[in-house]
Every structure is written in C-alpha cells, then in structure tokens.
Amino acid sequence: MSTVPPGSCPVLHCRPRSGPGAVDGFLVEELAPLLDGLVAGGRAAGWDFVRHGEGGPHLRVRVHGGRPADLASVAGALSATAGVREVAGPPCAGAGYAALATRTAVDCVAGTPRGGPRLAVAADLAHATAWALGMDRLAAARWLRGLAVAGRPGPGSGRALPASTVHAQVTAVYAEQRAGLAGRAAALRGVLAAGTATGPLAAWAAGVRASEAGAGGRTCPGAGARADAEAGTGAGGRDEASKAGTEAGSGAGADARADARTGAGAGTGAGAGAGAGAGAGAGEWGVELRLLCNRLGVEPDEERAVYRLAAHALLDTGEPAAYFPEGHLAPDWRYLERSKVRPGWDPGAALRPAPAETAAEGEVVALPGGPVPEVSLRAAVTGRTSVRAGLTGPLDAGDLGTLLWGAHAVSHTTASGPPFAHRPYPSPGGLYAAGVRLLAFGVAGLAPGAYQCLPGRRALLRVGEAPALGEFKEVSAYLSAAPADPGAVLVDGVPVVLGLYVDLGRLRQRYGLRALRLGLLEAGHLAQSLLLTASALGLCAMPLGGFQDDLAHELFGLDDLDRPLQYLLPLGRPATG
C-alpha cells in the first residue's frame, strides 16, 4: 500500500542490482515497458525520471496520476532486478515537458549501446532544440554557450572539472573533428527544415515547436497526446522534474533548473542572456535540455563540452583555421575593407538610434569613493608602470571606489550647448559602451565575488562567485607560468582583477561594421583612464591582452559575442621583498 500523502506525487527510487552499467538496460527493458503499459491502459497520466549518483547510480521515477495498487504492482515487478523504494514528492502538476523529455531519452538510450557515450546524440538534441525555438545559427550559438556557463558549478563544489580542462578538451576535439561536427550540424538543420528528420530527434523537435506554438507560446502537449511528434504524455504545463529527486522533493535537476533560470555562475552576461534573441521560451527550454542530458546519462562536464562543441559548429564558416591567413580573403583585411567610410552617401550606412542599456538585476552593493588625489599629469604618467613581479594588497573598498568612479564615472557636464554628462575618456556617440566587470579576491570591505560596475550609480552589481585564484590563473599562460619565467605575471596575492569589455551588441546596432573599431578605441581610452587614476592612488596594474577568450568569458560571466573582453587588469600594490 502506498505511503505517499494525499496531494503529493509518488517517487520510486530504483537501484539496479547488476552494477552501474545496468541502469540503461533496466530503464529500456524493464521500467519503460511497465510504465508505458500503465499509461496505455489509462491507469497513469504519464511518467518521468531523473538519474542520480548519490549512493550509487540509480533512477528516481515519478508516476503521474498512478493508483497506489498499480504502483505497488510496478514496484513488485521491478524488485527482482532492482531495489525499489517509494517516497513522497511534490504534486505532479505540469508534467508534460518531463514526459516529452523522458520519451525522447528512453528512445535515444534504446537506440545506442548500453552504457556507452551519447555525446553526439546530446549535441544533436541541442541543435534540434535551438532550431525548434526558431533560432538562427548565431542566436543558437550564443544560447548554447550561455547554457554551458550556467551549468558551471560554484567554487568548492567538487562536482566538476576545472573550466580550463573542459575548454582544452573542447579545443582538442573540435580541432580533430571540425569538418565532421560542422557538417553534421548543418545536415541536421537541413533535414529539420525540410521536414525529413525521423526518430526521437524529430519527435523532440516537433514537441518543442508544438509547445512554443501553443497558447502564448507556453503550452505543452497534453495528457496522453503524442500529436504528430510522438511528443509524450502527461498533463500540460511546465514540469518540475527536478523535484522528483529526493524525499524532500528536490532532485537531480534542481540546481540545473535554478541555475539555468537565473544564470547562476554566469552573471548578467552569458548566463542570464542565454536566450537573448531567441524568444521568451529559450530560458525554460534550456532547463529542459539540461534535464534531458541528465536522462540520457550525460555527465555535467560532458554536457558543458557538448554545448560548446555545438556552438563552435554553428559558427564555423568552413574557412581555413590559419591564425596568420594570407591573401585578400583573410578575415581581418576583409573586415577593414568592409568597415571603411567612403566618399559619397550610402543610405544603408546611415547611423541608427542606439538601443537603451538593459537594466541589470541582482544584489547592488554601494561602493563609495573619495576624490582622486591632486597629482600632476606628469607624475601620474611617469608613475604608471606595468608590474609583473607580483601585485598584492592592501586594497580596501574605498580605494577601489575612488579608482573606479574617478576613472569610469561622470566627471563633468558640458557647460555650453545642450548639457551632456562626460566621463574622463572619449566614447563614440557618447554611448559609453566600454564597461568593467571585476573579480574581487581580497578587497577589504567587499565580499569576494564577481561584480558588474555601475558607474551611473557608483555601485557594484553582484553577478556571481569569484573563481578560485588557481582557476583564474589558467586563463593566461602569463598568469600560470612559473615564477622564474621572465614572462610570468604573478598574481598569487592580487586583490582584484578588472575585466574591460565592449558592449558590441549595443554599439553595432548604431554603427554597423564600424562598431568594432570604435569599441576597441573606447576600451583603450578606458584602460588608460583607469591606469592613470591607479597611478595617482599609488596602485599598479598589469594590462593583459593575451588570454584564453572562451575561458575568460566564462569566469567573468560575459557573452563573448555581444560583450567581448578586451583587457584584463590585475590591480594592487607592488609586492615588496
């Protein structure tokens, strides 16, 4: 007899006795046929599951609308090959999305070797999800990279490989399999567009499209409905599959679901903007895609790599990957030619209105600062020096505020003509599209973390945790080099690192192809303003332009396409002794 309280949803913890490799066989050959039979006979509305590793590999299965007697019968039938325990979960409201993902996962597992890798399948499903949401290749790549960052565990969790390791593996795999991965992605989008895709991949894509095309774009295939996509069963509404995970109601996907919604670990750049340009459903479907990867048996580190490989494939133009290209087709020369301003009027090149800055959300931390010390320009210029041999504290929040707002906030207003608030450096069109994001490691009066500078408010927006210093050092060969290396930049005691980026997505909407050139100029102006102000405060920095882009953007939580980093500025006081 069921012990599940009224109003809750029964959850079966199923632990196969045959060892870790038996989970796939148990899922496909025993569990799915039994529960599909309940649904087909009208004795349950649907079912879903998540994988768990706590205490050994097992499945946590949620049955929607099942009768206690039927659940007892299922548990009894499964007990010959698995330990089965029934616990209470939250109400089974809105289980259609989980049922769709479960049907897809079961069919994919059935079509691949038991216990084998399913990274290619996961990549195909990622591409299919983006296509079904109506994303073009650029939007899809941005979205997938955002998911990779959002799936990054916090520091000290011990649950993941270092980000640098994941990026190194992605680079190696893509270099070896570039043609195959890019070709497979293009072919998949082609058959999806032509309507000739088959199997669980087609069913998943059709289910996503049908859901987004529903009322308000937010519905799901209804109970028992497979539609033309064999989309799965269960009541409509957004699933909380992760809550089937533990006796308390939070499960394997709970962290994934929360992180993907909020951009945890990603900040307001890459993570929170994962669905930028892709419609309101992109964030929620990112959650479902991550849970689908769990159901496939794809590990979190593998999942992050899958998203990055898929994004690489989407942005691949097929051109040679030479770093020093020659000839008139070299990308940099082509860009310079295309971005020229020429005599005569080109209506298509007219300036367009710039979009307003997007409002940031999160914990805002006031960062008051004092006036910049009165020093001569000569003293500030000659006092500025790049310090490789170690930067350290002390640095307190007051000095950091003085530096940031003295160099980056409004300094004066135009006295003649229309009033305009100026900062201490020039900006194209006065848009001030260069920004600062910082990693605080040891600033007195400021909690360690990742922060977005808000110069208009003279405050910081907390966007996530700071990485471990050892992980940050992997972002550049200069930072990770041995101390005896003459090119090493020593940051073991650095209190803060500034990341200067350009809001290229905003700037290019006004200036088109010229935006990149203008944005790079502004980033340089801002860097000089920061360095001279630091000199006046007795602080030093080491401007660093040689870093691993993908890893740096992940650690700072920035979208590498719309908000590319240009400079890293480790900042502090020269180490003595």
pLDDT, position 221:
39
- CA–CA separation, 501 and 517 (whole Å): 13
pLDDT, position 300:
92
**Mean pLDDT for all residues in the chain:** 83
Indicate if the pLDDT at residue 322 is higher than 60.
Answer: yes
Q: Within a 10 A sphere around the Cβ of 279, how many other Cβ atoms?
A: 15
Confidence of residue 5 (pLDDT cuts 50, 70, 90): very low
Q: Considering only CA atoms, which of 467, 141, 454 is closest in space to residue 268?
A: 454
**47-61, 117-131, 265-279, 470-484: which has the minimum mean pLDDT?**
265-279
Name the DSSP class of 227: G
Mean of the pLDDT values across residues 226-233?
29
- CA–CA separation, 306 and 308 (whole Å): 5
Mean of the pLDDT values across residues 328-349?
83
How crowded is the C-beta side of 403, counted as CA atoms within 13 Å? Answer: 28
Contact 197, 187 (CB under 8 A): no
Q: Does domain 9-110 have CATH number 3.30.70?
A: yes
Name the DSSP class of 433: -
Contact 260, 274 (CB under 8 A): yes
Q: What is the residue type of 296?
A: L
- CA–CA separation, 341 and 362 (whole Å): 41
Note the residue count of the chain: 577
- pLDDT (tens digit per residue) in 70-96: 888 899 999 888 999 888 777 665 567
Which is more confident, 558 or 45?
Answer: 558
Which is more confident, 28 or 265?
Answer: 28
Q: What is the bridge-based pairing of β-strands 421-422 and 434-440?
A: unpaired
How crowded is the C-beta side of 562, counted as CA atoms within 13 Å? Answer: 24
- pLDDT (tens digit per residue) in 531-568: 999 999 999 999 999 999 999 999 999 999 999 999 99
Contact 147, 311 (CB under 8 A): no
Structural domain boundaries in the chain:
9-110, 119-315, 331-338+359-574
- The H or E element containing residue 434 is strand 434-440
Contact 50, 139 (CB under 8 A): no
Q: Is the preceding omega at residue 394 within 30 degrees of 0, hence cis?
A: yes
Phi, psi of 422 (to 5 degrees): -100, 150
pLDDT, position 92:
64
Which residue bears the tokens 């299965």?
61
DSSP, residue by residue, 265-332: TTIIIIITTTTTTS-TTHHHHHHHHHHHHHHHT--HHHHHHHHHHHHHHHH--S----SS--STT-HH
Q: Looking at domain 331-338+359-574, which of 2.40.50.140, 3.40.50.10490, 3.40.109.10, 3.20.20.370 is its CATH number? A: 3.40.109.10
- CA–CA separation, 292 and 118 (whole Å): 12
- Residue 50's contacts (CB-CB under 8 Å, 6 or more residues apart) are 59, 60, 241, 242, 244, 245, 251, 252, 253, 291, 294, 295
pLDDT, position 343:
82
Confidence of residue 220 (pLDDT cuts 50, 70, 90): very low
Indicate if the pLDDT at residue 210 is higher than 50.
Answer: yes
Whole-number percent of the chain with pLDDT over 70: 81
pLDDT, position 93:
57
- pLDDT (tens digit per residue) in 467-499: 999 999 999 999 999 999 999 999 999 999 999
Indicate if the pLDDT at residue 127 is higher than 90.
Answer: yes
Q: Considering only CA atoms, which of 437, 439, 438, 446 is closest in space to residue 394?
A: 446
Indicate if the pLDDT at residue 352 is higher than 90.
Answer: no
pLDDT, position 247:
29
Radius of gyration of the chain (CA): 27
3-state secondary structure of 146: helix
Residue ranges of E strands in 495-576: 496-502, 540-541, 565-574
For residue 16, list its beta bridge partners.
82
Helices (H) and strands (E) in the chain, counts: 19, 14
Confidence of residue 246 (pLDDT cuts 50, 70, 90): very low
Pair of tokens at residue 218: 């937010």
**With a threshold of 0.85, does the pTM exceed it?**
no
429: left (phi over 0), alpha (psi -120 to 50) or beta: left
- CA–CA separation, 26 and 9 (whole Å): 22
- CA–CA separation, 403 and 387 (whole Å): 18
For residue 308, list its beta bridge partners.
none
